[in-house]
Amino acid sequence: MSPLSRIRHPLKRYFRRWIERRTQAVRECRLDHRRLYILPSKAGFGFLGLVFALWILGTNYENNLVFILCFLLLAMFIVSIHVTHGTLSGLRVKMVRAQSVFAGDAAAVELCFSQPRARRREQIAVCFAGQDPLMITLANAGDTFVTVLAPTTRRGFLEPGLLTVESVYPVGLLRVWSYLRFRFNAVVYPAPATDATRAVGRRGSGAGHYLGTTGSEDYAGLKTYEVGESLRHVAWKQYAREQGLWSKQYSDPVDSRVWVDWNDYASMETEQRLARMTWQVCACDADGRVYGLRIPGTELSPDMGAAHRQAVLRCLALYGNDGTNRINDETA
Amino acid sequence: MKRPDWQLSRNGLFWVLLAFVAVVAQHLEHLPVWTLALAGAVLLWRILEYRGAVPFPPWPLKAVFVASCVAGLVTSYRSLLGLEPMVAMLIAGFGLKLIEMHHKRDAFVLIYLAYFASAINCVFTQDILDFGLVLLTYVIATTALVSINQSKDQRFSAGPSLIALRILATSLPLMLVIFLVMPRLGTFWSIPTPKYQARTGVGDTMSPGDFSRLVGSDKLAFRARFDGEVPNLDMLYWRGLVFSRFDGREWAQAEFFGPEQAIQERSDNRGIVRLGEPVRYTLTAEPTYQRWLFALSTPATPEPGIRLMRDSRLVSAERISQRRNYEVQSWLDYRLQPDGLHPNRDQLERALPPGSNPETVRVAREWARETQDVEALIQRLLQLYNRSFVYTLEPPLLGTHAVDEFLWDTRRGFCEHFASSFAFFMRAAGYPARVVVGYLGGEIHPTENFVTVRQYDAHAWAEVWLEGRGWLRVDPTAAVAPERVEMSLADLFRDEDGFLIDSPLSLMRFRDIDFVNWIILHRDYLDYAWATWVLGYENQQADFLKQLLGRVDAFRLSLLFLMAAGVSLIPYLAMRLINRRRDRPDPRDELINRFCARMAQYGLRRRTGEGMLDYAQRVAAERPQLGPWAMAVASAYIRQRYDDNAPEQIDELRRLVRQTGPSGVGSM
């Protein structure tokens, strides 16, 4: 470790912590002088070096024309502070929606950049820490929607850290940037862990909901008659109305309700349990089963469909999380 | 943060190449030919490379390029120290970098190189027009800077140059203040100066033909601004060099008084007697890359670093490598060494090269015997000039015994021939004599009391030393062509072929036209102001700041800076104000927001995305008393906002919104 980095690293960490502290979570914000940071870029420091070299040249040759050029560049640098700041200043950034994903996957976060009037703002890099930046260019007044990826690691509410919005436009000598922290409603589901021993859930008691494979007990609907099918199943009534030859479909009731149950994984740690339960939920959903969730403090009765799956997974994601700090506010 | 792979846009490439071309064009004069060939090759390669016709250069080719550059630099300059090799090196490096621009960083480096190489041009030339070219290069380089930072989809357009111009223009006030205020420190270390490049001007030797060549040029030699009225033209003998050594053909300075000799600490006033009142003037010398300066005899100057020599010349301690101002007082009436010459001088200035110009020596001795005193001798010689000689720009060529041929055969010549033959003749007659070169006259600016002296004003005259009188100026040219002394050479020779032969398009040729004359006079004045206020600002700085601020202290200086920053930002602030007005929300929306705020007081907050009509219906359902009011406002709003056919009646909406709600409805 070089001596310089020995100084720089704690400084960076300190700066980071300071930023973390002062960046409030929001849904929408306007980039202004309170949120924008501006410092010379690497090229900017090079430029200052050039100004210094010109100053040496001018001083040594006692040449006022070189001084004029030197001071012109210096003044240009100073004016560029304002101009570069203007690239981001006045821009509104709004979080539109975020995708819920399994831990480890990148969540797509849709953002809306808007400006009240047409102004060219080019080369704005937007990204969460550790991701490749997305370069956007704004020209017209109004909204521009962009989607950036947020990395996830742990289950819970989506908390991808700070979003960096930065630009060096138009002269590249200064870098203006802002850190944004969004309040997300989206959650990160536990990463599923395969559990082959429990490919099929425990059978529950009581009447089943789901109509399983083809059977003979319950009428399930009509389908086009195919040659070779039992004539007993032909829908004669429809045939008589000259509506074509149909066969009636029946299915046997299967008691296929599955409980994804916390207590089934008694010997495991919380996270492992949750990971396996998540896998089980996914498996049931893929199989088209009806499943419910039992987890301390919550029980979701068996059901199926996307909404149910989402509710169950959300429950798993937020288990043990004090969810009260999240309000399902207006855009929920 | 990782950046996506960077690729130079077409626009960026164009502007970087243009900056390169501009820099090379500025330095054309100081670059060896091979650099131009290199620049051309590089440009071509880069363009082909961009079009995909050729690949990035493989390393052997790069090695060849670098090796040829190094070889070129070494053969052209032998030493890499010095300004010209540095410029050539910068440009060669610029070119080599140009063909392999892989990163954005490379583009930045190239643009910075353009800024720097272009600034160096100001060390070579400080002409106002050349500086204009440098500024143009700065605009191009700044445009390149903007264009490499723009998104790649930008096609070629003027866009980046507009942005660059705006930024540069708004930097001007700030630049001006920094320029005015920034203290000048003086040189840090000794520096290479541009070499003497066969510029036109008076040289440190004189042989036949030198001066008629100078007449071909209208380049500026220097300017003088007089405190009072300008003396008559025939008094304006601008003394530059004194030639005491003669080898039969060429005149040169006495070695022990030459400029190479270490200059004494103090000026040497011995033997100089000043009579009457001096004239005062400030002289602005163009770079000669030599040490001698020009002044009217006999001068005195308070400037540090300028010495007065015993033969009444001014010599600078350093070579004049850029425009320089110096103040001079001159006593036009003077006696120079009236009490006798130093033995060394005496010997040198009587010396005749053995065997040279025998005919002249013979005649001179004969005449000296025939005339009773030296004045009569001089008169006789001048009469000879006046009767039988022709003053011309195109004299016939002269052989070994140049003075003999001129005096007794060709009899056609220019000032140098007259001065040379006169001085030689006087020496042959037994009197110390020498040739003085400098400029005669110049062009007097009618209103501003200043004189512009150009190369074609170069002149040579003679000095004879007389017992009890000291050195006497004799201008034999005046005897043959008195007009030369009374009017400027431009007027005298306007129609002759040799005049301004170097500058076929010179404005000087068209002085007859009033308009052209007006331009020339004003350009001269502008040039003078440029030299005083810009090039020599450090001489004015203290006075100017005091005048501007009253007192120079930290507080007033910071105030000045703040004002400059303010002026720089005025365009931006004005823009912002204009836009703020434009951004103001629609008045109808403002009214409806106010209405919603009032409703919120009753506990009925309008939901996000809730239409105005839905909202009013909800209000009516939850608070029947408020219903009619809400419905009235909502329908008025919808009519005003969305129905294009409805007459504009914002006042109606305003009245409705401001209406007090039904009594008896308390807030919750």
Domain boundaries, chain A: 15-187, 190-208+257-324, 211-253
DSSP state of B624: G
Res B154 pLDDT > 70: no
Give the pLDDT confidence score for residue A81 in this predicted structure: 92
A65 at B interface, C-beta within 8 A:
yes
Q: pLDDT category, A216, cuts 50, 70, 90?
A: low
Give the pLDDT confidence score for residue A327 in this predicted structure: 42
CA B446 to chain centre: 24
Give the pLDDT confidence score for residue B239 in this predicted structure: 92
Based on the residue annotation, tell me whether B475 is a catalytic residue of this protein: yes
Give the pLDDT confidence score for residue A265 in this predicted structure: 80
Of B17-21, B46-50, B212-216, B498-502, the one with minimum mean pLDDT is B498-502
A315, A189 Cβ separation under 8 angstroms = no
Contacts A71 to B, Cβ<8 Å: 174-175, 178-179, 182
Q: What is the pTM of this model?
A: 0.67
A91 at B interface, C-beta within 8 A:
no
Coil/strand/helix, residue B576: helix
Give the pLDDT confidence score for residue A223 in this predicted structure: 73
Res B229 pLDDT > 80: yes
Res A316 pLDDT > 80: yes
Q: pLDDT category, A77, cuts 50, 70, 90?
A: very high
With CB atoms and an 8 Å threshold, state whether B116 touches A54: yes
Res B585 pLDDT > 70: no
Res B594 pLDDT > 70: yes
Give CA angle at B547 (B541, B551), nearest 5°.
Answer: 95
Give the pLDDT confidence score for residue B456 in this predicted structure: 81
pLDDT mean over B421-427: 92
Domain boundaries, chain B: 10-157, 205-514, 541-583, 587-658
- Cα separation, B106 vs B100, in Å, equals 8
Contacts A68 to B, Cβ<8 Å: 175, 179, 534
Coil/strand/helix, residue B98: helix
Convert B488-535 into a string of H (helix), E (strand) and C (coil): CHHHHHCCCCCCCCCCCCCHHHHCCCHHHHHHHHHHHHHHHHHHHHHH
Most confident of A37-41, A58-62, B204-208: A37-41
Closest CB to A132 among B4, B138, B188: B4
Query: Which residue in B192, B457, B475, B164 sits closest to B318, CA to CA?
Result: B192
Q: Give the residue carrying structure tokens 């190369």.
A: B455
B16, B110 Cβ separation under 8 angstroms = yes
pLDDT mean over A59-80: 91
Give the pLDDT confidence score for residue B140 in this predicted structure: 94
**Amino acid letter at B580?**
R
Res A329 pLDDT > 90: no
Give the pLDDT confidence score for residue B144 in this predicted structure: 92
Q: pLDDT category, B572, cuts 50, 70, 90?
A: confident
With CB atoms and an 8 Å threshold, state whether A171 touches B146: yes
Residue A37 corresponds to which tokens in the numbers above?
């940071």
Share of chain B above pLDDT 70, in %: 86
Which of A61, A74, A169 best probes binding to B when mutated, by most B CB atoms within 10 angstroms? Answer: A61
Exactly one of B69, B459, B527, B596 is catalytic; which is it? B459
Share of chain B above pLDDT 90, in %: 14
Res B369 pLDDT > 70: yes
- Cα separation, B134 vs B119, in Å, equals 7
Exactly one of B210, B415, B417, B527 is catalytic; which is it? B415
The predicted complex's ipTM stands at: 0.76
Closest CB to B119 among A60, A66, A76: A66
Give the pLDDT confidence score for residue B664 in this predicted structure: 43
Q: Which long-range contacts (CB under 8 A, 24 or more apart) does B44-49 make?
A: B45/B99, B46/B13, B46/B17, B46/B98, B46/B99, B47/B17, B49/B99
B118, B131 Cβ separation under 8 angstroms = no
Residue A323 corresponds to which tokens in the numbers above?
């969810």
B408, B388 Cβ separation under 8 angstroms = no
Per-residue pLDDT tens for A52-63? 999 999 888 888
With CB atoms and an 8 Å threshold, state whether A43 touches B126: no
- Cα separation, B151 vs A29, in Å, equals 25
Give the pLDDT confidence score for residue B599 in this predicted structure: 83
pLDDT mean over B27-53: 84
Give CA angle at B408 (B404, B413), nearest 5°.
Answer: 85
Of A143-157, B400-414, B470-484, B578-592, the one with minimum mean pLDDT is B578-592
Between A288 and A42, name the one with better pLDDT. A42
Res B263 pLDDT > 60: no
Cα separations (Å) of A13 from A1, A20, B303, B550?
A: 16, 10, 59, 50
Between B248 and A316, name the one with better pLDDT. A316
Based on the residue annotation, tell me whether B417 is a catalytic residue of this protein: no
Most confident of A45-59, B146-160, B639-653: A45-59
Res B364 pLDDT > 80: yes
A147 C-beta neighbours (distance < 10 Å), count:
14
- Cα separation, B425 vs B434, in Å, equals 10
Nearest CA in chain A to B565: A79
Give the pLDDT confidence score for residue B112 in this predicted structure: 95
Q: How many CA atoms lie within 13 A of B163 on its CB side?
A: 25
Closest CB to A170 among B1, B4, B149: B149
Q: pLDDT category, A332, cuts 50, 70, 90?
A: very low
Residues 122-181 of chain A with CB under 8 A from chain B are 122-123, 125, 127, 132-133, 135, 137, 164, 166, 168-173
Closest CB to A61 among B109, B123, B607: B123
B278, B330 Cβ separation under 8 angstroms = yes
Res B423 pLDDT > 90: yes
Nearest CA in chain B to A330: B608
pLDDT mean over B562-580: 76
Convert chain A into a string of H (helix), E (strand) and C (coil): CCHHHHHHHHHHHHHHHHHHHHCCEECEEECCCCCEEEEECHHHHHHHHHHHHHHHHHHHCCCHHHHHHHHHHHHHHHHHHHHHHHHHCCCEEEEEEECCEECCCCEEEEEEEEECCCCCEEEEEEEECCCCCEEEEECCCEEEEEEEEECCCCCEECCCCCEEEEECCCCCCEEEEEEEEECCCCEEECCCCCCHHHCCCCECCCCCCCEEEEEEEEEEEEEECCCCCCHHHECHHHHHCCCCCEEEEEEEECCCEEEEEHHHHCCCCHHHHHHHHHHHHHHHHHHCCEEEEEECCEEEEEECCHHHHHHHHHHHHCCCCCHHHCCCCCCC
Closest CB to A117 among B170, B175, B583: B583
Residue A226 corresponds to which tokens in the numbers above?
């195919």
Convert B211-251 into a string of H (helix), E (strand) and C (coil): HHHHCCCCCEEEEEEECCCCCCHHHCEEEEEEEEEECCCCE
Give the pLDDT confidence score for residue A41 in this predicted structure: 93
Please tell me the distance in Å from A57's CA to the nearest CA on chain B. 8
Contacts B537 to A, Cβ<8 Å: 64
Give the pLDDT confidence score for residue B258 in this predicted structure: 44
Residue A251 corresponds to which tokens in the numbers above?
């299915």
Per-residue pLDDT tens for B167-192? 999 889 889 888 888 887 777 776 66
DSSP state of B658: H
Between B485 and B499, name the one with better pLDDT. B485
Closest CB to A60 among B182, B189, B583: B189
With CB atoms and an 8 Å threshold, state whether A122 touches B109: no
The bridge status of strand A101-102 relative to strand A187-189 is parallel
| Strands annotated E in B265-383 | 272-275, 279-285, 292-293, 295-296, 299-300, 306-308, 314-316, 324-330, 333-336
Residue B650 corresponds to which tokens in the numbers above?
């914002």
With CB atoms and an 8 Å threshold, state whether B188 touches A60: yes
Based on the residue annotation, tell me whether B342 is a catalytic residue of this protein: no
Residue B259 corresponds to which tokens in the numbers above?
């400029």
Q: pLDDT category, B149, cuts 50, 70, 90?
A: confident
Q: pLDDT category, B495, cuts 50, 70, 90?
A: low
Give the pLDDT confidence score for residue A203 in this predicted structure: 42
A188, A171 Cβ separation under 8 angstroms = no
Which of A52, A57, A62, A168 best probes binding to B when mutated, by most B CB atoms within 10 angstroms? Answer: A62
Contacts A122 to B, Cβ<8 Å: 149-151, 154
Residue B370 corresponds to which tokens in the numbers above?
């025939």
Please tell me the distance in Å from A307's CA to the nearest CA on chain B. 24
With CB atoms and an 8 Å threshold, state whether A50 touches B116: yes
pLDDT mean over A47-54: 96
pLDDT mean over B502-511: 60
